[in-house]
Structure 1
Amino acid sequence: MVFTLLPAGGFSLASLKSHQLALIAEVNQAPLRSAAIYFFVYVLVSALSIPGAAVLTLLGGAIFGLVQATFLVSFASTLGATLAMLASRYLLRDWVQRRFAGQMASVNAGVERDGAFYLFALRLMPLFPFFMVNLLAGLTTLTLSRYWWVSQVAMLPATVIFLNAGRALGKLTSLRDILSPEMLIALTLLGILPLATRWLFSRFTRISH
């Protein structure tokens, strides 16, 4: 079954490459099953805030390719975030209010002032961790449909950048390939991402005030 292979012989480039090729062969043999398993695992990781989403995203780019992986990760991450938001709204409301009282005040003020655009800004440049945004959003007045589409659109740029990096990493055959133009572009985009999102967030906060 896909995603069960681990590099027992260590994490050398050769062993990682061999396991990547084995995963790709399995995906080619059972594409629908492989995509479904990957999608389910990603939803679970996102909904429960299990560490490893970034690695899972890179893996998706390496074994599924950019277009298919973008579809899978975009919808899986949004579904997972939405499930966490619904759990907060209907099951964990009292606990979230007690645990994150200070942060809740900031989010409520931001949503009251800017509506869904505040959530969009948080997704672009997380003022709070991913899991906290999901939990706090559940206690706001944001509707389910608005929460879904804002989250999906706002998270898409980072998703594509990470998947592209995973695709470039998947093409490495030797350490010299790290200096290839494609790899350098992918790494540059990863480095620029936090700077760009911070700039966008500062622009948004200036405009909204």
Structure 2
Amino acid sequence: MSPTHEPPVREDTNGAASTDRETSGWPRFAILGAIALLALLAAVLLRDHLTFDALAENRERLIAFRDANYIGTLLAFAGIYVVIVAFSLPGATLATLTGGFLFATFPGVLYNVTAATIGASGLFLAARWGLGERLAARMERAGGAVRRIKAGIDENQWSMLFLIRLLPAVPFFVANLVPALVGVAFHRFVVTTFLGIIPGTLVFTSVGAGLGGVFARGEMPDLGLIFEPRIILPILGLSALAALPIILKALRGRKETTL
């Protein structure tokens, strides 16, 4: 008897590759889920501690500890600030004010900007590792409007990154996540974050530096200060300066298409 020959079975390499990608993606989603869960738990457990009342009640102890152990206070403060930003916890504004309260406007603003940049960079890397690389690649392969949006962001990365940092209307966590999801280079994110948050951070740090007198009078700090014309107009001017290259490039492109 001659052996029966069964038709060769074709392996679906695309399907196998797709399955492998889906399987390998599970650890990423699991870690992102764990980060989100930890952020939620921290927000619930720490909400009574990250308040102005808590800062006012403990201000003398904080000052005494700072005077006795400056480096330890700085490291603890920076660590808490980094965690708040990295997990997008409520309390970033309070942390900035506390930096001014403990360390004065300067070097407090330097400590605040550095800690905020480290925390933002951690969130950026986590988002890019979990979802950003895939989403950026998918946008790159897509056509039509999606591809044009991605191309527009890529052509104006420096200006766009500075713009979203300078505009007060853009939430801080949004400015941390969006660049990761569109494939922005890490070094550009770090540079524009550090420099772009200086104006707003300087305002809140200076408010924090005066908290001692505010608490002594039994008052609360005026956080609406940033929207006063003498503060908001220079920030909006910097935003317009950051947007200028984008506007000029758009006008130049429109002019070329009409010729």
For normalisation by structure 2, the TM-score amounts to 0.61
**Amino acid in the other structure paired with 1:86:** L
What is the aligned counterpart of 2:235 among 176, 197, 200?
A: 197
Once structures 1 and 2 are overlaid, which stretch shifts more, 74-83 or 138-147? 138-147
| Residue in 2 that maps onto 1:135 | 177
Does 1:161 pair with 2:203?
Answer: yes
1:73 matched to 2:112: yes
In the alignment of these two chains, the number of paired residues is 191
Q: How has the CA–CA distance of structure 1 residues 107 and 48 changed in structure 2, closer, same or farther, with 3 Å as cutoff? A: farther
**Identical counterparts, % of pairs:** 24
SS in 1 for 2:182: coil
Select between 105-114 and 50-59 the one with higher mean Cα deviation. 105-114
Higher RCO, Cα 8 Å, sep 6+: 1
Per the alignment, residue 171 of structure 1 pairs with: 213
* In 2, Cα distance between equivalents of 1:31 and 1:64: 9
Distance 2:173 2:91 in 1: 13
**1:64–1:109 CA distance, 2 compared to 1 (3 A):** same
With over 3 angstroms needed to count, the CA separation of the structure-2 counterparts of 1:153 and 1:204, relative to structure 1, is closer
Cα distance change, pair 157–201 in 1 and its aligned pair in 2 (3 A): closer
Deviations 1:155-207 (A, max 9, x none): 011111101001112233336x99xxxx99x9755634444434543454455
Q: Tell me the equivalent position of 2:158.
A: 116
- Contact map agreement 1:57 1:163 (CA 8 A) in 2: yes
Gaps of 5+ in 1: 1-5, 98-103
AA of the residue aligned to 1:90: W
Distance 2:172 2:79 in 1: 19
Moved more, 111-120 or 190-199: 190-199
Deviation per CA, 1:104-135: give whole Å up to 9, x if none.
88973552232211100110005642112211
Given that residues 116 and 146 in structure 1 are in contact (C-alpha distance below 8 angstroms), is that contact kept between their aligned partners in structure 2?
Answer: yes
Q: How does 1:29-108 map to 2 (within 5 A)?
A: 29-93=68-132, 108=150
Select the structure of larger CA radius of gyration: 2
Q: Take 1:111 and 1:205, find their aligned partners in 2: how far apart are those partners? A: 12
Secondary structure at the aligned position of 2:89 is classed as coil
Over the residues paired in the alignment, what is the CA RMSD in angstroms? 3.7
Q: 1:64–1:204: structure 2 CA closer, same or farther, 3 Å change rule?
A: closer
Q: Per the alignment, do residues 126 and 161 of structure 1 end up closer, same or farther by CA in structure 2, a change over 3 Å counting?
A: closer
Q: Residue 85 of structure 2 contacts residue 92 of structure 2 at CA under 8 Å; is this kept in 1?
A: yes
TM-score by length of 1: 0.74
Aligned partners of 1:107, 1:76: CA distance in 2, in Å? 31
Relative distance call for 1:125 and 1:34 in structure 2 (3 A) is same
Is the Cα contact below 8 Å between 1:120 and 1:150 reproduced in 2? Answer: yes
Tell me the distance in 1 between the aligned counterparts of 2:176 and 2:196.
Answer: 14
Moved more, 121-130 or 142-151: 121-130
Structure 1 residue identity aligned to 2:201: T
Q: Which runs of 4+ in 1 moved over 4 A?
A: 94-97, 104-107, 186-190
Asked whether the 8 Å contact 1:70–1:160 carries over to 2, the reply is: yes
Residues 162 and 190 in structure 1, CA contact (< 8 A), matched pair in contact too? no
Q: Retained in 2: the 8 A contact 1:125–1:194? A: no
Structure 2 unaligned regions, length at least 5: 1-48, 137-145, 248-259
Q: In 2, Cα distance between the equivalents of 1:26 and 1:76?
A: 20
